[in-house]
Structure 1
Amino acid sequence: MSGFEWDTAADQRFTVNLSILFTELPLLERPAAAAEAGFTAVELWWPWVDSPTPERSELDALRKAVEDAGVRLTGLNFYAGRLPGPDRGALSVPGEESERVRANVDVAAEFARSLGCGALNALYGNRVEGVDPAEQDALALQNLVLAARAADRIGAILLIEALNEPESPRYPLVSAPAAVAVADRVNEATGLGNARFLMDLYHLSMNGEDLPRVIERYAARTGHVQIADNPGRGAPGTGSLPLADLLGRLRKAGYDGPVGLEYKPGDRPSAEAFDWLPRAARAAR
């Protein structure tokens, strides 16, 4: 794909998000499909959108699918409601949703531990009409502290992600500084220092942020990176984002962690949406 110059990103470690790619397949077939496409690492949103505490048999089946495919799970979201859909996490949502988050924390952490996953992503949650934002922020901090402690118990980091305002107008963390500030508050509250920024270049570009400046300021605070092109949230080269340059800047700034492919495959099978990335480069090192 001519829109992406591979040589500037040749030593990145790519991981495939199986909640946005390979979704034409049943969940349990996706890890093997990613492996067939040449990838050795995958990540997931919480797969059970209606259940923060699925049956043990469901957890075991997904674990076996990942293990049998020979891929590593490098990132997992805590329960976040209906994704894709109207929800944007549940940490700050009072009532039943917050209770579901708390019920999920140890389940998600144990599942991550069983597969050696070192990063857990906690989506903040939408603003709720009629609820004081300060009340929601206090609730979110309580739940994030629980999540950070659970992540620490399994030797993982906790990720805090900024989304984009056009697509998530009720989500309060729509800039890099806002997400990093929440990570700072969590670290201050726990003393663990394991809350990190999830730098999603697509979301930040949709917010109109200066991406080279974001990389310069926050690369050292970043625990995970995700990419998609803009406009369209497609594969690198389908839009106008200079992703090769941005990945090169991240590498030069010292970021050597995974880069998650969290883009839409378009009107083709997911296995055909990686033509920008040489097969030999798809194995995470």
Structure 2
Amino acid sequence: MNLSGLYLYPIKSTAALAVREAAVEAQGLANDRRWMVVNPAGRFVTGRELARLTLVRARPVAEGLVLEAPGMPSLAVATPDNGRPVDATVWDSTVAARGADPAADAWLSDFLLQPVRLVHMGPDSHRTIDEPQARADDTVSFADGYPLLLISQASLDGLNARLPQPVPMLRFRPNLVVGGADAPHAEDHWRRVRVGEVEFDVVKTCTRCVFTTVDPQRGERDPGGEPLRTLASYRRSDKGITFGQNLIPRSAGTVRAGDPVEVLARA
């Protein structure tokens, strides 16, 4: 097996950025979900509520980010090392973050058609993983719950064989895509993997929500509720509708597209 796809989401819920390599940090891949859009109260805003957010493209640069979106001028946003302190809430956790330049807030508010702010998770931010599968010192970015998400290409192929119209992998917003698995959902039975030089614990199956119905090319939901409707017909469990596996890094290093993927432990 090999790493056939590698993706970052520099701002939570915005467009995927395909990369050839990425450094692995405790919170996840470097530059992955270190920024987030919040409402005026500081609560996270995602593509679940605002499908249009998936049309925003954020490109990391040395000074911060460059933002692009249809019909909008590009905007350079500096990393707010000494920005406005902001309490940013993701689900039930509140993180000490920094507010970006007001120009970024105005740009995003204009595109999303409602008032929002952009915040950054810097080195002084700390968000622990409040889940029984995690260790006490495990941390995470602004991702929903865990540092990384892995999906095998075989799992998507198995789903697409059931759908009237196939969907791309990016409907599921993985970080790591594994090619060459011997069967759909083989990753359900993995407990520890090595990707190139980095080891990960496979800690929890990923439960899926309405976000999977958002077409990231159009920034709109699928009117038929796909692929979630089809997934519900064969991937429903007592945990919900599942697709893919959440990972926690257990070593540092760099992962690269094409790296070998080895299963070190199975269920």
- TM-score above 0.5: no
Which has the larger helix fraction?
Answer: 1
Q: Report which of the two has the higher share of strand.
A: 2
TM-score, length-normalised on structure 1? 0.28
